[in-house]
A and B are shown apart, each in its own frame.
Chain A
């Protein structure tokens, strides 16, 4: 269980996340991020907005994809295995119900991501995660995803396929919302890696709080218009290192 979560949140998982800076590249260009303190503030605002939304979506996607093992959910008729068959708890097959549920979450992700640049970044990373996730954690639930799903929806399915809980998926989403951007800032500003590691580590209580909140009823919709603006300005630049 825990090892699958570590793998899912590992920056070395080749899902393409390393090509995105989560807005940090443009935040540096705009002068908002220039040292460890301003980086910490930027990561916190990202965590509590985009991070909270992705944590909520990822947790919901895991719940839908996990054949009722978590949070007391009743298995759907399509997820029930025939009597006398395997006694294990396989992930739900790609029922039409699951397809509709994941499509619904993908639509809610779109509604929470009006920035075209951020939508493209999320779908790009979602596709990358499906590619590696299918190999890492083979499961029929992958087939229920739309072609280039939003990253948190794919992350939730990956968590389910890896036997993880919705809380695990939320924790991975929340952590990934700051870990990649922190590394990007370290590279772009040539910051001391130990300092950046400390900045990220000190966010742990906030990351845990976001992951806890992700399990409450209703998908979070917290947004930061600054991140939208930075993403759209960044997308027009020809001299960028990161895709977003």
Chain B
């Protein structure tokens, strides 16, 4: 696994990655995972009774790659999703296509999604999307950490869309664009690091700090922080979360 030359025909269409995990309430109320499936660039490892880690099996994603992670958490079940290492989005070899990753979650139980950071290399463009459809009473925590450019490198371009629907009603729908060419990424506020957490399940009010803000949602909140260094930004978002 991980031999990119084998997985990717020359001058190719991007690599297709598909992950599916289903969490179900099993006997005695414990969560079981009847479906744990990965293909393409991500393998899925069971790392606990109700937790999985996504393991990258190749460098990347590269521009043109397309990944979709489908998560289903049924009523009474709990699922924690982690990744083992930061993902480094790299430029398209053939052109300037972005890499894409969609997380499509259907949640009636509790989903805790906390991947490691995404680093967007110079000249790379990455599109991240989270579409979470929640039943009334479902609990969601989803984090996002982004760093534009590796050390000493120009920033890459990142676009992140979050849409959360609860009981058929839209709760949150935002798209943030970062990096050179993003229309609202302009000095004096053009951060290299960005972190965001959305939570549904427990309400919290407005909280502001330097370059960080928490906003209330019905029965939840969304916290965002930005700045020059990712470790500080992650601390800042945790401070207002």
Contact = CB atoms under 8 A, between A and B. Distances in A.
A232 B213 contact: yes
B128 interface: no
Given A44-B183, A222-B184, A223-B174, A115 B189 contact: no
B216 A112 contact: no
Given A111-B173, A221-B175, A228 B184 contact: no
B224 interface: yes
Interface of B is mostly: strand
Interface of A is mostly: helix
Given A116-B206, A116-B216, A232-B208, A225 B186 contact: no
Nearest to B173: A111
Contacts of B164: 111
A4 B161 CA distance: 35
A226 B186 CA distance: 11
Interface string A198-240: 0000000000000000000000111111101100110010000
Nearest to A220: B175
B86 interface: no
A48 B163 CA distance: 19
Given A114-B172, A221-B173, A44 B186 contact: yes
B216 to A, nearest CB: 7
A107 interface: yes
Given A226-B189, A232-B213, A112 B208 contact: no
B173 A45 contact: no
B172 A41 contact: no
A222 to B, nearest CB: 5
A65 interface: no
B170 A108 contact: yes
Nearest to A52: B183
A107 B213 contact: no
A110 interface: yes
A223 B198 CA distance: 15
A104 to B, nearest CB: 9
Interface string B144-171: 0000000000000000010110000111
B52 interface: no
A174 to B, nearest CB: 13
A90 B143 CA distance: 49
Kindly name the residue among B169, B208, B213 whose own CB sees the greatest number of chain A CB atoms within 10 A: B213
Given A31-B188, A111-B171, 19 more contacts: A32-B188, A45-B183, A45-B186, A49-B184, A108-B170, A111-B170, A114-B174, A115-B215, A116-B215, A223-B175, A223-B176, A225-B224, A226-B226, A228-B213, A229-B211, A232-B206, A232-B208, A232-B213, A233-B208
Interface of B: 161, 163-164, 169-177, 183-184, 186-189, 196, 206, 208, 211-213, 215-217, 222, 224, 226
